[in-house]
Amino acid sequence: MPPQNRKEDLVLAANTLRGLAIDCVEAANSGHPGLPMGMADLSAQLWLEWLRYDVNDPRWHGRDRFILSAGHGSALLYGLLHLAGFGVSTDDLRAFRQIGSKTPGHPEVGETEGVETTTGPLGQGLGNAIGMALGAKLEAERFECPLAATHRVIALVSDGDLMEGVASEAASLAGHLRLENLFVFYDDNRITIDGRTDLAFTEDVGKRFEAYGWRVLRCENANDPEAVATALQQTFGQESNRPTLVVCRSVIGYGAPTKQDTAGSHGAPLGPEEAKAAKTNLGLDPEQSFAVPDEVRALFRIAATKKAEEARRFHEDMESWRAVDEDRAHRLAMFRDGTLPENLFELACEAVAGEDGATRALGGTVLNRLAESVPGLVGGSADLAASCKTTLKNSSDVTGEDFRGRNLHFGIREHGMGAILNGLALHGGHVPFGSTFLVFSDYMRPSMRLAALMGLRTTYVFTHDSLMVGEDGPTHQPIEHAAALRLIPGLHVYRPADGLEVAAAWTHAIERKTGPTAILLTRQGLPVIERPDECSPEAARKGAYLCGSFGDAPTATLIASGSEVSLALEAAALLADRGLSLRVVSAPCLEVFEQQSREWRDQVLPPDLPVVSLELGTPQLWPRFTGNAAHCIGIERFGRSGPANELAAAFGFTPEAVADQISAMLS
């Protein structure tokens, strides 16, 4: 049982956090003081007495992960980091929400020491926490290292978090998997921006989570230190084989004389007079800003010393574990370091050398080959593993009883899948992937955007990538989706044309450690691209390259991606017979191509030749390369249900129809 502090000391620590939050928001004239003021008592006790961290080694593996899913309450987290001794100074608090500060409006991983994930879009932090808890279980059982899962994942969520569908999706899966290392504190203050939650939210959240399979506890007064202490003892002092939700009844803006328990304290400064009155109510000096009593500094200093000792014992225990089986310990170290074989691309190419077929099938072959050499690869699908070909054949399924496998069944929960993948990536070691049909990428776009914002190595396998889905019709035929994904800064979108490009896509996704990758794959079969002898396989890794040339003096360049590359080659051959010579460029990844040298880009797309683009999707982004919207062949309407070959004819995507369009454009 953690050492207990005196009640008066805990009250002073909580009120100090409230004062810091008030001052942060007043200084910025922007922010959310209500949640920090309402949850200060629980947060102070949690960080002083229960949370495991080491300010001298903020990233040590055995630390507890604290996730502020209600990221709008960031002033609370920054106050805690400041008091605990992380790298958040008083000046950083004064710079709350200012450009270049360590204290942005919502917590951002990588910007602030001690922040575990970027939060703000509600529900996402809870999904990330579930991914982290799952990541710990997977690592511990795979390497038979119980110490790897002794840390806890602790999330603070709001009413808004639990209204969002992503939270429900992820929480349902967490209950199914019985992630007992996950602890969620729900700030049940019953206030949102528009007013009281009963405007739109009257469900019994506790019963909902019980139905998910969670242990549900209650703290009926989260502003009473004794009630908080009892709740924390129940939460961490009693073992459970399920994730835990603690429903904490709190008062938003606690201490503010006219704005507590109102929407007025949720998303705006209290105002100078209310701020002073609140400080007076809390026993703080109303004339001082960013004040921290010596007694509170001492409390956190003593706590930091004890926590550092905990970390030291953890490291000693890990050393003892390593000594028992050095080979197993080496494999765990390689996993955590993310060590990759140098010949990854070569291995991927060997897996599909000379094979034609649907790129989804080729992708499954490459994935399984690479999984043999990349132990961190783990993932699954939103109930579409057989269609997306993303089952790891030499691995078992992950269940609530067995976490040794690498195949995850997310169920039909695309958004929850995306948030959990981010948590797996944040946990470290894992190279997570998730799969579904491209048209359903809309369901997980917010999670993908956050992966890009955080620079996470997550991979999305999207199959059934065009009109050629066929008979399933316009509801399942993606039209705008490739373009929409390319609009996300930092997301690399691959649309491979054959096995070589699939190998390049997967190699890039695994080797890239600074952001996510989406791989768009076909349902229909495709031929092997017959490349010129001088075309090195490495060219496919540069985003775009010359894959064919017709005639001695080409007068234009035709650039295409995915299944349209073979179509482009056929159309160019027809045009050559008509006396029009074309160069054909395959562009599996426009983002990677734009990162190449000017010399390479000019070699692929000579500036003195007109460029025509060809892609079965909305063409709005292609004028960046053609320079002329009239030189873009695409589709800007929804499709129809019918066989793929008939759709190609109806929408003008046959070699003859494409050749005619190009002739008209260039005449």
SS3 label, residue 144: coil
Q: What is the length of the chain?
A: 667
- Which DSSP symbol is given to 372? T
Q: What are phi and psi of 86, to 5 degrees?
A: -75, 180
DSSP run (H or E) holding 614: strand 611-614
Annotated catalytic, 414?
A: yes
> What does the alpha-carbon distance between residue 420 and residue 217 come to, in Å, rounded to a whole number?
24
Torsion of CA 189, 195, 200, 204, to 10 degrees: 10
In angstroms, the CA 173 to CA 155 distance is 16
Contacts with 368 (C-beta within 8 Å, 6 or more apart), sequence order: 351, 392, 393, 394
Q: Residue 245 phi/psi, 5° resolution?
A: -115, 125
Residue 521, token pair as written in the block: 């794959």
**What contacts 148, CB < 8 A, 6 or more positions away?**
61, 136, 139, 140, 332
Alpha helices (runs of H) in 338-470, residue ranges in sequence order:
344-352, 359-371, 385-388, 414-427, 441-454
Cα(168)–Cα(175) distance, integer angstroms:
11
Q: How far is CA 574 from the centre of its chain?
A: 45
C-beta pairs of 268-274 under 8 Å, 24+ apart in sequence: 268/30, 268/31, 269/25, 269/26, 269/28, 269/29, 269/30, 269/31, 269/33, 270/22, 270/25, 270/26, 270/33, 272/26
Q: Which residues of 13-39 are buried (b: 16+ CB within 10 A; e: fewer)?
A: bbbbbbbbbbbbbbbbeebbbbbbbbb
Which residue out of 414, 501, 564, 615 is catalytically annotated?
414
The answer to whether residues 409 and 416 touch, using CB atoms and an 8 Å cutoff, is no
The one-letter amino acid at 420:
I
* 64: helix, strand or coil: coil
The CA distance from 637 to 616, in Å, is 11
Angle between helix 165-177 and 414-427 (nearest 10): 70
The alpha carbons of the chain give a radius of gyration, in whole angstroms, of 28
Q: Where are the alpha helices (DSSP H) in 374-413?
A: 385-388
Local structure of residue 585 (DSSP, 8 states): E
- Which residue has 């050095």 as its token pair? 326
Tell which phi-psi region holds residue 89, choosing left (phi > 0), alpha (psi between -120 and 50) or beta: beta
End-to-end CA distance of the chain: 82
Instruction: Report how far residue 322's alpha carbon sits from residue 329's, in angstroms, rounded to the nearest whole number.
Output: 5
Q: Which residue has the tokens 């835990």?
A: 244
Residue closest to 436 by CA, chosen among 385, 499, 366: 385
Which residues are catalytically annotated? 414
